[in-house]
A and B are shown apart, each in its own frame.
Chain A
Amino acid sequence: MTFLEKMKGSSQSPPRVSVSEILLSWLGSFLGIAAVALLNFRLLDGSDLVMIIGSFGASAVLIYGAIRSPLAQPRNLIGGHVLSAVIGVAIYKILPEAPWLASSLAVSTAIAAMHATKTLHPPGGATALIAVIGTEKIHALGFMYALVPVGAGAAIMLLVALVFNNIPKSRRYPEFWL
């Protein structure tokens, strides 16, 4: 295939899922995000702690919307988030004065590390980026960021996914643990 031929694509989009599947994805992700959001806005409001970060929205797509995907499995969800968080914080600490370089290094290194550890989870890239471009509240957490909100939040969403995704006949989760 030539360079230009490759750009035309060679396969087709997978089929649209059924209406019931759409409703299940909607309900599952609503519950999963509700769990972390309630903790964040009701319990930790006013404290120095945060429970919810933007990358959880992306995780919800996978663990409630594409639950068979290798990217959506527990190993990837927890491993990808925590590993990326540690990498993001470390790079911010090394390069706080060069946000453009810290941002790009955090994301690219996180992806490489997730690949190497078989924990590729796309939202992990966002988690690493947030460690660099996040608020002062995030920066103040230091490496704690990897545990709360990242580790704890991912764990709560995993718990919801384990319960919710195994109730309907048409779903089962996970495909594998480790």
Chain B
Amino acid sequence: MTDTTIDACVPVEISDDDIFEAMTQIPGYLDITPGDFKEVYLKSYQHALQRLTRSVHVKEVMTTEVAAVLRSTSIREVAELMARRRVSGVPVLNTDRSVVGVISERDFLRTMGDEQSATFMDVIADCLRGGKCLAAPMRIQCAEDIMTAPPVTVNPDTSVMEVANIMARQRINRVPVVDATGKLIGIASRADVVRSSLVR
């Protein structure tokens, strides 16, 4: 697996002039050009970022009280649970607690809209045009009918850096954390990943 640099984590853009100004504040002749300093700064920033995110495992930042549903849970109950727990996605489990899929707001929108890639605003616009409840036909469906499967999962010892890469690559907002047998033990959201890299 290659390490891709996370675009969101570029360091503060310092200019050669900033460095020049800083150098004038340090007495004595500094045997380095502003350009060289900048190169060192950018490279060391990347190293620091990797060190900080590699050293943190997803089990340290994941949420363990996961709102989850079963394959057979009705869509209405799924929606109610997501609303009550204020989450935008839930893992779908087998009866043995192994993760078989994930339902996110996007799955609801996809099912409600005409096209595969419906957005929230597509659905709103549709509602305003027709005046009917687009969710109505979903009443008879259950979780496994609209979930995204197979799910992308990680194990507890995956580094937060790797989780961030997976989220960026797969364009997903949360990833269930499973044990060796595939059973759910937690979930890591984008917010968990961001918090772990900033609040430290």
Contacts and interface: CB of A to CB of B under 8 A. Distances in A.
Q: Is B one of A's binding partners?
A: yes
Nearest to B32: A14
Contacts, number: 51
A15 B23 CA distance: 7
Interface residues of B, number: 14
B150 interface: no
Contacts of A14: 20, 23, 29-34
B16 interface: yes
A14 B29 CA distance: 8
Contacts of B36: 11
A11 B16 contact: yes
B11 interface: no
A67 interface: yes
Interface in B14-42: 16, 20, 23-24, 27-36
Given A11-B16, A12-B16, A12-B20, A171 B34 contact: no
A17 interface: yes
B34 A12 contact: yes
Nearest to A169: B27
A66 B27 CA distance: 11
24 contacts: A10-B35, A11-B34, A11-B35, A11-B36, A12-B34, A12-B35, A13-B33, A14-B20, A14-B30, A14-B32, A14-B33, A15-B24, A17-B29, A18-B27, A20-B27, A21-B28, A21-B29, A66-B28, A67-B28, A68-B28, A68-B29, A68-B30, A69-B31, A171-B28
Interface of A: 10-15, 17-18, 20-21, 25, 65-72, 170-171
